Structure 1
Amino acid sequence: MEFPFTGEPIPASEEAVYAAFPSYRQHGLAMFGPDRVVYSADALPILQKLYQTPLHADDLWLLTPPKCGTNWMSELAWLVNHDCDFQAAQAYLTPDRAHFLDMPLLVSSSRREAMVAAGNRMVMSITDRPRPWHIQTHLPLNFLPPALLDTCKVISVVRNPKDAVVSLYKMLQLNDTLSPELTVDQYAELYMTGRRFGAPFFSNVLRAWEQRNHPNMLFVTFEEMKQDLRGVIKRVAAHLGKQLTEKQLEQLERHLSFESMKDNQWVNKENLGFRKPDSSTGERRAFMRKGQTGDWKNHLSAEVAQKMDVWMEENLRGTGLELVTQLPQK
Structure 2
Amino acid sequence: MKECDRIVDGIRHPWATKDEILEAMKTFEVREDDVWLITYRKSGTTWTAQIITILSCGCDVRKIDEIDPKDRVSFLDVLKQGMTEFAHVTTAKKPSPRIIMGTHFQSRHMPRELTTKKPKIFYVARNPKDVAVSFYYFHKSNKLLKTFESWDEYFQAFYDGDLVGGSWFDMNLYWWNRRNEDNVLFLKYEDMKEDLGSAIVKMSEFLGWPIPEGKLEEVVKHCSFGNMKKNPKFNYREMIDISVSPFMRKGMVGDWKNYFTVSQNEAFDKLYEEKMQGSGLTFRFEL
The TM-score normalised by the length of structure 1 is 0.78
CA distance in 1, matches of 2:183, 2:39: 16
| Alignment-mate amino acid for residue 291 of structure 1 | G
CA distance in 2, matches of 1:60, 1:233: 15
CA distance in 1, matches of 2:87, 2:46: 15
**Pair 1:139–1:212, CA change in 2 (3 A):** same
CA distance in 2, matches of 1:168, 1:57: 32
Q: Which residue of 1 aligns with 2:8?
A: 31
- The SS at the match of 1:325 is coil
Q: Which residue of 2 aligns with 1:221?
A: 188
| Alignment-mate amino acid for residue 167 of structure 1 | S
In the TM superposition, what is the alpha-carbon distance from 1:293 to its structure 2 partner? 0.6
Does 2:127 match 1:144?
no
CA distance in 2, matches of 1:264, 1:181: 28
- Match 1:299 to one of 259, 267, 276: 259
CA contact (8 A) 1:115 1:123 kept: no
Calculate percent identity across the aligned residue pairs: 29
- The SS at the match of 2:64 is coil
**Pair 1:179–1:39, CA change in 2 (3 A):** closer
Structure 2 unmatched ranges of 5 or more: none
CA contact (8 A) 1:64 1:157 kept: yes
| Alignment-mate amino acid for residue 29 of structure 1 | R
Question: Which digits, 9 at most, give the CA deviation of each residue in 1:35-78, with x for residues without a partner?
Answer: x2222699443212023222122211001000000011111111
CA distance in 2, matches of 1:323, 1:221: 8
In the TM superposition, what is the alpha-carbon distance from 1:122 to its structure 2 partner? 6.7
- The SS at the match of 1:30 is strand
CA distance in 2, matches of 1:168, 1:61: 22
In the TM superposition, what is the alpha-carbon distance from 1:219 to its structure 2 partner? 0.1
- The SS at the match of 1:156 is strand
CA distance in 2, matches of 1:46, 1:156: 21
Question: Which digits, 9 at most, give the CA deviation of each residue in 1:249-298, with x for residues without a partner?
Answer: 111111111111211223x1446365x753xxxx4x41111001110111
CA distance in 2, matches of 1:179, 1:28: 9
Question: Which digits, 9 at most, give the CA deviation of each residue in 1:221-255, with x for residues without a partner?
Answer: 10010111111111101100122234111111111
CA distance in 1, matches of 2:86, 2:40: 22
Is 55-64 or 65-74 further displaced after alignment? 55-64
Matches within 5 A, 1:125-144: 125-136=90-101, 137-144=103-110
| Alignment-mate amino acid for residue 61 of structure 1 | W
CA contact (8 A) 2:22 2:109 kept: yes
- Match 1:187 to one of 154, 166, 177: 154
In the TM superposition, what is the alpha-carbon distance from 1:323 to its structure 2 partner? 1.3
CA contact (8 A) 2:72 2:99 kept: yes
In the TM superposition, what is the alpha-carbon distance from 1:124 to its structure 2 partner? 6.4
In the TM superposition, what is the alpha-carbon distance from 1:184 to its structure 2 partner? 1.9
Which of the pair has the greater relative contact order for Cα pairs under 8 Å at 6+ separation? Answer: 2
CA distance in 2, matches of 1:57, 1:265: 34
- The SS at the match of 2:121 is strand
- The SS at the match of 1:188 is helix
**Pair 1:77–1:292, CA change in 2 (3 A):** same
- Match 2:122 to one of 155, 160, 163: 155
Does 2:43 match 1:77?
no
In the TM superposition, what is the alpha-carbon distance from 1:151 to its structure 2 partner? 2.4
In the TM superposition, what is the alpha-carbon distance from 1:157 to its structure 2 partner? 0.2
| Alignment-mate amino acid for residue 320 of structure 1 | G
- The SS at the match of 1:176 is coil
Q: Max radius of gyration: which structure? A: 1
| Alignment-mate amino acid for residue 135 of structure 1 | I
- The SS at the match of 2:112 is coil
CA distance in 1, matches of 2:140, 2:269: 24
CA contact (8 A) 1:157 1:219 kept: yes
- The SS at the match of 2:60 is coil
CA contact (8 A) 1:102 1:138 kept: yes
Q: Which residue of 1 aligns with 2:280?
A: 320
CA distance in 2, matches of 1:172, 1:40: 12
CA distance in 2, matches of 1:263, 1:233: 21
| Alignment-mate amino acid for residue 80 of structure 1 | L
Question: Which digits, 9 at most, give the CA deviation of each residue in 1:164-205, with x for residues without a partner?
Answer: 011111011111345445212221211121222223111111
Give the root-mean-square deviation of aligned CA atoms.
2.4
Does 2:136 match 1:169?
yes
- Match 1:256 to one of 223, 240, 244: 223
Matches within 5 A, 1:13-52: 21-22=1-2, 25=3, 27=4, 29-32=6-9, 36-39=10-13, 43-52=18-27
